[in-house]
């Protein structure tokens, strides 16, 4: 049942140690990234979910045991916890209901009771980093998490509580707030808590601590602060993200607006983060989140190479979007190997997570064979043109030249074949699979990065199916404005392009048969 790939977390269980780890929150951000790492380290893994079907699409689904149950049902937990050595408690609501604090406390009591009854050796709980002050002075969200921690620590089963601040990695809600704020607003007025001290932590380091806590030789009952070792203001984090992402300098203005509700509304208005998530998070962000100690180093040594600094964590989170070739597939299942870079996005992440991407996708069937369609695709551009609205293409080329770009002036390097790195007007060939697919990367002035991708395959009728997709990663407000302005032209250009490519292939096929 174990994965055969090596763990990137520098952890491998000794031969003969087949301890069973149960993961709650397997469908969540941390749990979905931790499970493949546990498997790679040699653990047996069981995942608890209210609906096991929610796990079936994961690459690791057939490598784990599953248990279906509700954390509010003590009988479900007693069954799911049988034979478990370490229980990973990775669930917590965002406070969407009035009674969520009481409900979270009840769940924690259920968990510790069932764990004690079934002989669980260790509980590991991921909590939140907060100031050392009375519970009634904390936000409701953070107060609830601390209450859960205290219930677990007071229970029979030893519990390790990790208190972590903002987790940096694609898909993390806090990181997505940083990403969307920085990418949307060159000048960012915001609430006073933008000046608060925050100590972030990379998702890779969070997973490192969680996995190593499952491999301890003896049980431990204590709370530990975890972070990157360097605190900074939230405003500084926004500015540094912009630098790492290659954005223009961002200016952040912390205004005297401390109100938590207004802060939540501000985030939900400026970013795509849902209000029900933004509101409790904004309340938590209104508090400093800095580690008071690093005693975890006495229990679990620091990751090899040391803790990940904020800039490096951001670079890893942006790694997939910054590197080429364009990693997109026609079913939008971007990742199949989910564990190799925990900071990468996963298909299971929320729709609002990740870099903003605009796409225009066309799919069309034709009668010509695949070979004929590919021949047209491979000779596109240059003197042959782009098979749609030549006047609009010429105008766009002239505009690009006026802005200092190539426009249509340089044509093609080879009129009949495409090779990686060949130029085709204002495009460059980024990748090519002869007879099947080509990806062109734009080298025009566009306020972001753009690709045009063609793929052809045989359809069920013996003809061909053409997929055509334009993909655009905007940079700041300029890029978003560019896409909005150009969309009406796309509505004219791209449907005609797909139609005319297939029509040209059919003409060539008919001409060949006549000859």
DSSP strands (E only) in 396-514: 423-424, 427-433, 437-442, 448-458, 464-474
| pLDDT for the residue numbered 88 | 98
Query: Strand, coil or helix: what is 13?
Result: coil
Alpha helices in 44-172 (DSSP H): 74-80, 100-118, 140-153
10-to-37, 169, 213, 302 alpha-carbon distances in Å = 10, 19, 13, 11
Q: How far apart are CA 49 and CA 47, in angstroms?
A: 6
Phi, psi of 474 (to 5 degrees): -75, 150
Domain boundaries, the chain: 20-322, 358-514
Q: Hey, CA dihedral for 354, 360, 366, 368, is it positive or negative?
A: negative
DSSP assignments along 236-290, one per residue: HHHHHHHHHTTPPPPEEEE-S---HHHHHHHHHHHSSS-HHHHHHHHHHHTS-B-
Q: How far apart are CA 368 and CA 500, in angstroms?
A: 12
Phi, psi of 171 (to 5 degrees): 105, -25
SS3 per-residue string spanning 275-319:
HHHHHHHHHHHCCCECCCCCCHHHHCCCCCCCCCCHHHHHHHHCH
User: Residue 79: CA atoms inside 13 Å, Cβ hemisphere, count?
Assistant: 13
| pLDDT for the residue numbered 512 | 67
| pLDDT for the residue numbered 164 | 96
Query: DSSP assignment, residue 62?
Result: G
CATH topology of domain 358-514: Alpha-D-Glucose-1,6-Bisphosphate; Chain A, domain 4 (3.30.530)
CATH number listed for the domain at residues 20-322: 3.40.50.720
Q: Beta-carbon neighbour count of residue 73 at 10 Å?
A: 15
Q: Both tokens of residue 287?
A: 């508090």
| pLDDT for the residue numbered 344 | 67
Q: Beta-carbon neighbour count of residue 259 at 10 Å?
A: 14
DSSP assignments along 180-226, one per residue: HHHHH-SEEEE-GGGGSEE--EEHHHHHHHHHHHTT-SS---EEEEE
Q: How far apart are CA 414 and CA 418, in angstroms?
A: 7
CB 228 within 8 A of CB 313: yes
First-to-final CA distance of the chain: 60
Query: What does the radius of gyration of the chain's CA atoms come to, in whole angstroms?
Result: 26
Q: Do domains 20-322 and 358-514 have the same CATH topology?
A: no
Reported pTM: 0.73
Q: How far apart are CA 43 and CA 378, in angstroms?
A: 49
Contacts of 81 (CB under 8 A, 6+ apart): 22, 87, 114, 115, 117, 118, 120
Let me know how long the chain is: 515
Phi, psi of 269 (to 5 degrees): -80, -40
| pLDDT for the residue numbered 21 | 98
Q: How far apart are CA 35 and CA 2, in angstroms?
A: 11
Per-residue confidence in pLDDT tens, the chain, 515 aa = 444 344 567 888 888 888 999 999 998 889 999 999 999 999 999 999 999 998 988 889 999 999 999 999 999 999 999 999 999 999 987 655 668 889 999 999 999 999 999 999 999 999 999 888 887 778 888 889 999 999 999 999 999 999 999 999 988 888 888 888 888 777 777 777 788 899 999 999 999 999 999 999 999 999 999 999 999 998 899 999 999 988 888 888 777 765 555 666 667 767 777 767 777 677 677 778 999 999 999 999 999 999 999 999 999 988 755 444 344 333 333 333 333 567 666 656 655 566 667 788 899 999 999 999 999 999 999 988 999 988 988 888 888 888 888 888 888 888 888 999 999 998 999 888 899 999 999 988 887 888 899 999 998 888 999 999 988 878 767 787 888 888 888 889 999 999 999 999 999 888 766 65
């Amino acid at each position: 049942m174990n994965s055969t790939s090596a763990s990137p977390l520098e952890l491998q269980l000794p031969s003969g140690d087949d301890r069973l780890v149960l993961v709650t929150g397997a469908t969540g951000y941390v749990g979905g990234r931790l499970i493949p790492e546990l498997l790679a380290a040699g653990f047996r893994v069981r995942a608890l979910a209210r609906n096991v079907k929610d796990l079936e699409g994961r690459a690791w689904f057939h490598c784990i045991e599953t248990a279906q149950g509700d954390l509010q049902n003590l009988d479900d937990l007693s069954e799911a916890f049988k034979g478990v050595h370490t229980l990973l408690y990775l669930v917590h609501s965002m406070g969407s209901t009035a009674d969520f604090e009481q409900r979270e406390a009840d769940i924690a009591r259920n968990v510790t009771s069932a764990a004690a009854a079934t002989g669980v050796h260790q509980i590991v709980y991921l909590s939140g980093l907060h100031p050392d002050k009375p519970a009634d002075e904390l936000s409701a969200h953070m107060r609830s998490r601390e209450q859960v921690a205290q219930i677990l620590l007071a229970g029979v089963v030893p519990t390790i509580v990790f208190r972590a601040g903002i987790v940096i990695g694609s898909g993390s809600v806090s990181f997505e707030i940083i990403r969307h704020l920085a990418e949307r607003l060159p000048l960012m007025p915001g609430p006073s808590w933008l000046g608060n001290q925050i100590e972030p932590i990379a998702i890779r380091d969070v997973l490192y601590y969680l996995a190593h806590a499952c491999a301890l030789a003896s049980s431990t009952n204590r709370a530990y602060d975890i972070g990157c070792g360097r605190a900074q203001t939230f405003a500084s984090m926004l500015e540094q993200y912009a630098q790492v992402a290659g954005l223009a300098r961002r200016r952040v203005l912390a205004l005297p607006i401390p109100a938590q509700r207004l802060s939540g509304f501000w985030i939900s208005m400026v970013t795509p983060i849902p209000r029900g998530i933004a509101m409790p998070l904004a309340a938590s962000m209104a508090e400093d989140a800095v580690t008071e100690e690093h005693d975890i180093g006495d229990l679990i040594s620091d990751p090899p190479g040391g803790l990940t600094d904020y800039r490096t964590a951001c670079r890893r989170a942006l790694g997939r979007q910054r590197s080429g070739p364009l990693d997109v597939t026609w079913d939008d299942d971007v990742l199949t190997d989910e564990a190799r870079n925990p900071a990468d996005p996963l298909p299971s992440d929320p729709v609002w997570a990740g870099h903003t991407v605009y796409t225009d996708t066309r799919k069309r069937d034709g009668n010509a064979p695949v070979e004929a369609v590919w021949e047209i695709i491979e000779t596109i551009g240059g003197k042959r043109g782009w098979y749609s609205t030549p006047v609009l293409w010429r105008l766009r080329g002239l505009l690009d030249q006026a802005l200092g770009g190539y426009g249509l002036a340089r044509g093609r390097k080879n009129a009949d074949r495409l090779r990686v790195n060949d130029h085709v007007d204002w495009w460059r060939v980024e990748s090519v699979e002869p007879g099947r697919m080509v990806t062109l990367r734009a080298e025009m002035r566009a306020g972001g990065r753009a690709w045009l991708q063609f793929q052809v395959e045989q359809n069920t009728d013996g003809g061909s199916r053409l997929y055509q997709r334009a993909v655009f990663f905007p940079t700041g407000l300029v890029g978003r404005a560019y896409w909005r302005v150009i969309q009406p032209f796309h509505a004219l250009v791209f449907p005609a392009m797909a139609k005319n490519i297939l029509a040209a292939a059919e003409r060539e096929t008919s001409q060949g048969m006549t000859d």
